[in-house]
Structure 1
Amino acid sequence: MKYTTEIIINKPRAEVIEKLDNPENMKHWQRGFTGYNQLNGTSGEAGSQMEMHYKTGKREMTLTETIVKNNFPAEFHATYDAKGVHNIQKNFFEAIDENTTKWRSECEFQFQGFGMKLMGFLMPGAFKKQSKKYLDDFKNFVENGTSVAN
């Protein structure tokens, strides 16, 4: 499953990237985020890996992020792996003007196992909705300082 999501953020690209590139900020725009730990490599560099932890209700989930390409401020590509799901994300950041940034996120989900493939087939909207929610929450965090952290 592939789709693209984008959002306009009313802040300069340098400020957007500064907020995005700090893992301590993830709790402010990724609902359910509970923490992370660097697995290997230097944080932010291609090839480095980070384990990310989430909790939604009683369900806990761990993702492994592998940075594929970090060419900030223009682009950032990574993969995210969890049980039964491989997510490839290509993120592009365009300065519309000195105070406006467009973030375009190209997502590809690859599912393993019957259950995950069925969920991807039956519920593609849920994945798109979650991606859009992250972008909306990030925009709100950068523009207004609003945090989704509990």
Structure 2
Amino acid sequence: MKYTTEITIDLPRKEFIKKLDNAENMKHWMRGLLGYQVLSGELGQEGARMNMKFKRGKGEMEMVETIITRNFPDEFHATYDTKGVHNIQKNYFKEVDGSTKWISESEFQFEGMGMKLIAFLMPGAFKKQSMKYAKDFKNFAENGISVLKS
């Protein structure tokens, strides 16, 4: 499953990247993030692997981020792996009239009948979650509003 999301953040690209590229800021816009731990490499650099733990409903979910391309301020690509799901995320950042357009290309690959069935029955849920993160980042970056307060 592939889709693209776009959002414009009312910040110059340099400021946008500064907020996005700070791992300590993730908790303010990645709803449900309980914590992260570097598994290998240098935090935020190409090749680095990081375990991320999220609260989901009554349970928890863990995923591993692997940074593929770090070419700020233009692009950042990573993969995210959790049980039954491999997500390839390609992010592009364009400066437009003093604001930043964030274009995110998502590709999900599913293993097992259960995950494939969920993807087939609820493809919109994945795009909705991606847009939720983008909107939460926008609210944090522009207004300083953290999801920790909601």
TM-score, normalised on structure 1? Answer: 0.97
After TM superposition, where is structure 1 displaced by more than 2 Å over at least 4 residues in a row? none
AA partner of residue 111 (structure 2)? Q
Query: What's 1:128 paired with?
Result: 127
Q: How does 1:78-97 map to 2 (within 5 A)?
A: 78-97=78-97
Flag structure 1 segments of 5+ consecutive residues without an equivalent.
Answer: none
Query: What's 1:17 paired with?
Result: 17
Aligned length: 149
Q: How does 1:19-98 map to 2 (within 5 A)?
A: 19-97=19-97
Taking only aligned residues, the RMSD between alpha carbons, in angstroms, comes to 0.7
Flag structure 2 segments of 5+ consecutive residues without an equivalent.
Answer: none
Deviations 1:32-87 (A, max 9, x none): 00100000001121111000010023110001000000001100000000000000
Alpha-carbon offset, residue 124 of structure 1: 0.3
TM-score, normalised on structure 2? Answer: 0.97
Q: Secondary structure at the match of 1:127?
A: helix
Q: Identity percentage over the alignment?
A: 66
AA partner of residue 141 (structure 1)? F
User: 2:87 and 2:115 mapped to 1: Cα distance?
Assistant: 13
Query: What's 1:144 paired with?
Result: 143
Q: Secondary structure at the match of 1:92?
A: strand
User: 2:147 and 2:86 mapped to 1: Cα distance?
Assistant: 25
Q: Secondary structure at the match of 2:148?
A: coil
User: 1:56 and 1:124 mapped to 2: Cα distance?
Assistant: 18
AA partner of residue 27 (structure 2)? K
